[in-house]
Structure 1
Amino acid sequence: MRILLTGRNGQVGYELERSLQGLGEVMALDRKGLDLADLDQIRETIRALRPSLIVNPAAYTAVDKAEAEPELAMRINGEAPAVMAETARSIGAAMIHYSTDYVFDGSKSGSYVEDDATGPINVYGRTKLAGETAVQASGIPHLIFRTSWVYGRRGQNFLLTMQRLARERDELRIVADQYGAPTWCRTIADTTAHVVAALQCDPRGPAAAALNEGAWREKSGLYHLAAQGQTTWHGFAQTIVAHGSSSRKPPVLPITTQDYPLPARRPANSALSCDKLIRTFCGLPAWDSALRLCLE
C-alpha cells in the first residue's frame, strides 16, 4: 500500500512517519513538497504519486492568527481537504483526516460524542469543520479523527511553552475554567497506525489488495481520538511543572478565561467521548499517564 503523508515536519506528521512504517510505502511530504495553500499542486501531487491512502495531519493551526487570516485558514483547513478527497475519489484512494475539539461551542456539560451538534466559536474551528464536511461528502472511504489539546516534543505547543516559562518566571498564571484532554501527538500517530493495520488485516478483504476497501467502507466515519480523562489548562500546567526535569518549579496559579483574553474565543468544555473508537478499534491512554511518558 502506498501512503501519502502530509505535514511530515508537524507534531503529528513527524510521529506518523515513524508509526506508519511497515504498513506500506510511506511517501512523506513537508510544506515544500506539498503546500496545502496551493490547490493545483495538491491535485497534481496526488495524481502523480497515486497513493492508496492519504493521511492528512497538515493544517493551519495558529488559532489566534486565524482570526486575522480567515481566507488562508479556510484554504488550508477547508478547501485543501476537499481537493484531496475529490482527487482521492478519482484514483480510488482512501483518506484519513484530522480535526479538532474546537468544532464545538463548549456549552455541553458532559463529554461530546460524534453526533453532537457542532457550533464553532472561532475561525479555526469553522475552517476545520468545513474540512470535515468536505471529506464526508466526497463519498470516499475515510476516517476523520477529532482530537484535542495536542502537544509533543517538537514545534510550538503548550507543553514546550510551559517548560520555557517555568525556567523564566517566578510564577505561572494559567486558565483554570476550560476543560479538555491533553493528547500526546505520539498517541495520535500510534493509534492511527493501529487502526490502519486492523483495517488492512481484516480477513474479509483480499490479502493482495493495496487497499482493503470493504473494511475501510464499513468502518468509514467520524471518530473522537483523544487521551482519556480530562483536566484544565491549569491542571495540565501543574502536571508539566511537577513532573518536569527542571529543578525550578514555580507555583502555578489558577486564573479565569476573562483574565487572559485572546483574539480567538475558546470553548469552555472540549472534552471528547472516545467510546466509539474504543469499541471499534482499540483503547486509549489516560492523559496524565501519556504526559508522564512523554516527559520521561
Structure 2
Amino acid sequence: MRILLLGERGQLSRELQLRLSGASELLIAGRQRLDLADTARIRRYVRALCPQLIINAAAYTAVDRAEGEPQPAFALNATAPGVLAEEAARLGAPLIHYSSDYVFDGCKPAPYVETDAPNPLNVYGRSKLAGEQAIQAVGAAHLILRTSWVYASHGHNFLLTLQRLLRERDELQVVDDQLGAPTWAGSIATATGQLIDQWRRGRAGPWGLYHLCCQGETSWFGFASAIAEQLRGKGQTVARLLPIPSSAYPTPARRPLNSRLDCSRLRRDWQIQLPDWHDALLECLASPRRAAPAKP
C-alpha cells in the first residue's frame, strides 16, 4: 500500500517512519520537498503520487511563537489539512490527522470527551481547531486524533529539556496546576499502525474524531518528578524540583489547566488503548535512539 506521510523530522513523524516503513510503500514529504503553505503545490504533489492513504504528521507546534505569527500557524495547521482532505477525497483515500488538547479551555472539571465544545485559549489551539473543522467540512473518510503533551527521545520536547535542565541546575521550578497525560510519540505511532491494520483488514471502526493519549494523569511537575526519578536511578545527580502555579510562570500563550482527554470512544470503536503514561515513559527511555529510515 502506498502511504504519503507529511512531515519528516518531527518527533511523531520519525516514530511513524520506524513503524510503517517495513509493511508499506512509505512516501515521506518533509518541508524541503513540500511547502505546506503552498496549497497549489500540495494539490500537484498529491495528485502526482496518488497515495492510498495520507497521514499528516506535519504541524506548526511553536505554541508561544504562534501568538506573534498567527499566519504561518493557520497556514500549516488549518489551511493545509483542509486541502489534504480535499485531495484525499478526490482519490478516495482516507486521511489521518493529529490534533491537540489545546482546542479546549481547560475549565471542565473532568476529562474532555469528543463531543465537548472546544474553546481554545491561544492561537495554536485555534489553528488546530480550524484544521479539524476544515477536514470535517470535506466529509470524506478521516481520522482526527487529538493527543496531549507529546514527547520523544529526539526533537524538541519537555522530556529532553527537563533531562538537560535537571543535570545543569541545582533547583528547578515546574508548573504543578496544569493536568494532562504525557504521551510518547512512539505510543501514538504504534496505535496509528494498529488503526491502519484494522482498516486494511476491513475491520475499521467509524471514521471521525477521537481522543488518543496515554492513560492516567499528572501535572508537568509530576512528569518532571518521574523523569528525575529515572535519572537518579542511573546514579545521576539532579536538580531539586519545586512546584509552582501557572501564574508564577507567565508565557505568551495561555495554557489550559485541564488537558485530560477521555479516550474511551477509541477503545470502544477501534479496540485501541494506549498504555499508562508511566509505562510509556519507561519504554521511551529504554528504546534505542535510532534514526528513522529516510525515504524520498
Q: Same fold (TM over 0.5)?
A: yes
Cα shift at 1:136: 1.0
| Counterpart in the other structure of 1:283 | 273
Residue by residue over 1:146-183, the C-alpha shift from the partner in whole angstroms, topping out at 9 and shown as x without a partner, is 00000001111000000110111001100000000000
Unaligned 5+ segments in structure 1 are: 204-214
User: In structure 2, what is the Cα distance between the partners aligned to 1:149 and 1:35?
Assistant: 26
Residue by residue over 1:216-258, the C-alpha shift from the partner in whole angstroms, topping out at 9 and shown as x without a partner, is xx62100100000000000000001111246122211100101
| Further displaced range: 120-129 or 193-202 | 193-202
User: In structure 1, what is the Cα distance between the partners aligned to 2:146 and 2:83?
Assistant: 20
TM-score, normalising length from structure 2?
A: 0.93
Residue by residue over 1:119-143, the C-alpha shift from the partner in whole angstroms, topping out at 9 and shown as x without a partner, is 0010000000000011111111100
TM-score, normalising length from structure 1?
A: 0.93
| Counterpart in the other structure of 1:41 | 41
Residue identity in the other structure for 1:273: D
User: In structure 2, what is the Cα distance between the partners aligned to 1:166 and 1:276?
Assistant: 37
Matches within 5 A, 1:1-296: 1-202=1-202, 215=204, 219-244=206-231, 245=234, 247-281=236-270, 282-296=272-286
User: In structure 1, what is the Cα distance between the partners aligned to 2:60 and 2:114?
Assistant: 22
Cα shift at 1:269: 0.1
User: In structure 1, what is the Cα distance between the partners aligned to 2:93 and 2:134?
Assistant: 15
Unaligned 5+ segments in structure 2 are: 287-296
Is the 8 Å Cα contact of residues 5 and 29 (structure 2) preserved in structure 1? yes
Is the 8 Å Cα contact of residues 23 and 197 (structure 1) preserved in structure 2? no
Q: 1:246 to 1:53 in 2, by over 3 A?
A: farther
Cα shift at 1:82: 0.6
Of all paired residues, the percent bearing the same amino acid is: 54
Runs of 4 or more above 4 Å deviation: none
Cα shift at 1:280: 2.0
Residue identity in the other structure for 1:283: Q
User: In structure 2, what is the Cα distance between the partners aligned to 1:163 and 1:151?
Assistant: 12
Aligned length: 283
Cα shift at 1:57: 1.0
| Counterpart in the other structure of 1:208 | none
Cα shift at 1:22: 4.1
Q: Secondary structure at the match of 1:64?
A: helix
User: In structure 1, what is the Cα distance between the partners aligned to 2:88 and 2:215?
Assistant: 32
Residue identity in the other structure for 1:269: N
